[in-house]
């Protein structure tokens, strides 16, 4: 290929939301790379102000259709911390199941529909020939498991309705639990086949990086400490103080540094920091695959996602088999002025919601930090470092490789364009 | 015979896209017999928005780039259907329309920098919309019911 050229990718495909990529190569050198998150801002940080606290979780769920359960759950956690409400043990279990349903559905969509076409060298899931119909059927079977888990536990898989501050309005019946158990148990072998595909995939782009994740005792994505591979351990409430917001003038999303350094959040970070907390049944079946971690190969993010699907299935089976669910009364809420922080692991990484309430229980101020925003600087730097290694290839190959490495992160642009007010210079 | 359809997303949370993909758990192979998704950027790298029988449009319109593309979609589709609350009513993507003066000033520089319109609008403010499927996300039962009607209109009976 010529040593001076531009590549402009308008709307990176097979991701959620809108982003463009601009590349300028001059005299064989990378002169400019701009990853532009173009999702139009909807200003949730401003729009949430003055809302009564009880309406906030459903409202901020609309930040993202893909991971609405993550925003809802994180928002509820921030409000519970603010109002000093301790959810019951049953509520915590139902919350884990709700999040597991989302992770199963969301990871399955990304792996089967966005990543497998790259592995099998076709453009999309619509282009698989009949010999691959079994994979499409497996994709729908796994997505259905996640979808049904969310529907039965949380009410819906998108913008769910049962989960409230301090409780669930509805608990699953014995029949519903039995149906879920059958579906979950039947799906295990399909997921192990999926894990093998990503284990055997030879895609590679390695780069040392600081990996950051909420480390939980049971890999449940909800409560724990934030750790990084450079040795930092902090409490959830202190996360914001370790972040530095970086204004990216051409992007509708800010970027972030952790401890003043580039970092990555997401499944790869979780696996690098916490693989020993994976459910025992999953660990027993996946010992060979888990040896891959820690890894600095970005494509192992997808292997980590596949492993997380099995963990979510196995831990859901355990929770559903070991517990009976009974309707609980909502907690008594004493409205008070204050500040609360919720941090959970969303499918794409660490999600932070901070909320400040006034004495009437209305929102004074809110701040949300989104996983894809946190990965933006690393994604762009990956492109800068990948390009010199593929410049001799043709334009189609380069275009495809650039999209492929961004897809490996499973970015969600719909979420990313939410941040505090910024001043550009 | 297959009819050509496009699935488009503008300013929104793309919740109806997720609902559609979840409907595929049950309908993918059936739809594959008579629907060709010519444009579906969430699932495809190679997309074509020309000569569509039905364009399904999710999301509200926030800037001229979106409006221009919406006009092109209208020109290239026999039937255009608004999907979900933001496309049908503008809400909740249009919440900045109702901000007070101080909040509007706070976000003003962002609107200027990214060339946003002063107001976010439903798609019917710019193009003729043949049908509406509301909901946040879209009502999936209504979508299935209406899809059957559209398929009948295009000569695919008993779909």
Domains of chain B, by residue range, sit at 3-153
The per-residue pLDDT for A16 is 80
Residue A249 sits at φ, ψ, to 5 deg, of -60, -30
ipTM above 0.90, yes or no: yes
Asked whether the beta carbons of B144 and B23 are under 8 A apart, the reply is yes
The per-residue pLDDT for A372 is 93
Chosen for mutation from A65, A248, A254 (greatest number of chain B CBs closer than 10 Å) is A65
Which CATH architecture describes the domain A44-416? Orthogonal Bundle (1.10)
| Tokens 């759950």 sit on residue | A73
A260 touches chain B (CB under 8 A): no
- Residues across chain A: 425
User: What's the distance, Cα to Cα, between the start and end of chain B in Å?
Assistant: 12
Taking the C-alpha atoms of residue B115 and residue A65, their distance in angstroms, rounded to an integer, is: 25
Asked whether the beta carbons of A312 and A103 are under 8 A apart, the reply is yes
Q: List, for residues A164-198, the tens digit of each pLDDT value.
A: 999 999 999 999 999 999 999 999 999 999 999 99
The per-residue pLDDT for B129 is 98
> Which stretches of chain A score pLDDT less than 50?
420-425
Nearest chain A Cα to B111, which residue? A41
The per-residue pLDDT for A359 is 97
**Of A407, A371, A375, A409, which Cα lies nearest the Cα of A64?**
A371
Q: Where are the domains of chain A?
A: 5-37, 44-416
Q: Do B21 and A125 touch (CB under 8 A)?
A: no
For residue A225, the SS3 value is strand
Taking the C-alpha atoms of residue B85 and residue B91, their distance in angstroms, rounded to an integer, is: 6
**Of A53, A414, A59, which Cα lies nearest the Cα of B95?**
A59
The per-residue pLDDT for A2 is 62
Q: List, for residues B53-73, the tens digit of each pLDDT value.
A: 999 999 999 999 999 999 999
**Does domain B3-153 sit in CATH 3.40.50.700?**
yes
Query: Which of A46, A66, A133 minimises the CB distance to B107?
Result: A46
Taking the C-alpha atoms of residue A320 and residue A172, their distance in angstroms, rounded to an integer, is: 10
Which B residues in the span 106-145 are in contact with A, Cβ-Cβ below 8 Å?
A: 106-107, 109-110, 113-114, 116, 136-137
The per-residue pLDDT for A37 is 87
The per-residue pLDDT for B21 is 94
């Amino acid at each position: 290929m010529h040593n001076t050229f531009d590549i402009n990718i308008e709307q990176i495909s097979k991701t959620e939301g809108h982003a463009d990529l601009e590349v300028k190569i001059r005299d064989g050198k990378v002169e400019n790379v701009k990853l532009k998150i173009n999702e139009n801002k909807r200003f949730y940080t401003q729009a949430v102000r003055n809302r009564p606290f009880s309406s906030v979780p459903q409202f901020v769920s609309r930040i993202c259709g893909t991971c609405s359960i993550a925003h809802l759950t994180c928002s509820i956690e921030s409000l519970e911390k603010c109002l000093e409400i301790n959810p019951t043990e049953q509520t915590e279990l139902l919350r884990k199941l709700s999040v597991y349903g989302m992770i199963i559905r969301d990871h399955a969509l990304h792996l089967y529909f966005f990543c497998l076409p790259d592995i099998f060298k076709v453009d999309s899931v619509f282009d698989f020939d009949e010999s691959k119909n079994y994979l499409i059927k497996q994709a729908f079977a796994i997505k259905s498991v996640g979808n049904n888990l969310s529907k039965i536990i949380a009410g819906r898989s998108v913008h769910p309705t049962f989960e409230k501050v301090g409780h669930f309005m509805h608990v699953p019946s014995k029949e519903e639990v039995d149906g879920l158990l059958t579906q979950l148990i039947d799906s295990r072998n399909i997921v192990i086949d999926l894990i093998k595909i990503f284990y055997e995939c030879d895609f590679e782009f390695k780069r040392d990086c600081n990996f950051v994740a909420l480390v939980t005792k049971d890999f449940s994505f909800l409560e724990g400490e934030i750790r990084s591979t450079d040795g930092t351990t902090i409490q959830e409430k202190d996360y914001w103080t370790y972040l530095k917001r970086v204004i990216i003038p051409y992007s509708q999303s800010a970027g972030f540094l952790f401890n003043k350094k580039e970092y990555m959040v997401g499944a790869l970070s979780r696996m690098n920091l916490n693989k020993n907390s994976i459910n025992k049944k999953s660990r027993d079946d996946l010992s060979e695959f888990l040896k891959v971690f820690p890894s600095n190969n970005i494509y192992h993010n997808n292997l980590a996602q596949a492993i997380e699907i099995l963990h979510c299935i196995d831990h859901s089976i355990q929770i559903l088999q070991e517990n009976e669910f009974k309707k609980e009364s909502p907690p008594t809420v004493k409205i008070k002025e204050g500040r609360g922080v919720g941090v959970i692991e969303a499918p794409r990484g660490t999600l932070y919601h901070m909320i400040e309430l006034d004495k009437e229980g209305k929102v004074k101020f809110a701040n949300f930090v989104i996983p894809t925003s946190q990965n933006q600087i690393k994604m762009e730097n990956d492109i800068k470092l990948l390009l010199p290694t593929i410049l001799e290839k043709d334009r189609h190959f380069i275009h495809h490789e650039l999209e492929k490495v961004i897809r490996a992160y499973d970015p969600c642009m719909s979420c990313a364009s939410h941040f505090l007010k910024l001043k550009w210079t | 015979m297959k009819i050509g359809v496009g699935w488009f997303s503008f300013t929104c949370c793309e919740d109806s896209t997720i609902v559609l993909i979840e409907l595929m758990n049950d309908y993918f192979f059936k739809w594959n017999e008579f629907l060709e998704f010519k444009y579906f950027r969430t699932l495809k790298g190679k997309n074509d928005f020309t000569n569509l029988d039905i364009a399904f449009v999710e999301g509200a319109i926030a800037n001229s780039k979106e409006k221009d593309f919406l006009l092109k979609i209208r020109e290239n589709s026999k039937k255009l259907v608004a999907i979900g609350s933001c496309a049908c009513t503008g809400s909740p993507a249009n919440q900045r329309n109702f901000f007070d003066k101080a909040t509007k000033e706070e976000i003003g520089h962002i609107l200027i920098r990214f060339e946003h319109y002063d107001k976010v609008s439903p798609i019917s403010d710019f193009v003729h919309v043949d049908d509406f499927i509301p909901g946040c996300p879209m009502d999936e039962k209504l979508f299935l019911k209406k899809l059957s009607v559209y398929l009948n209109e295009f000569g695919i009976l008993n779909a």
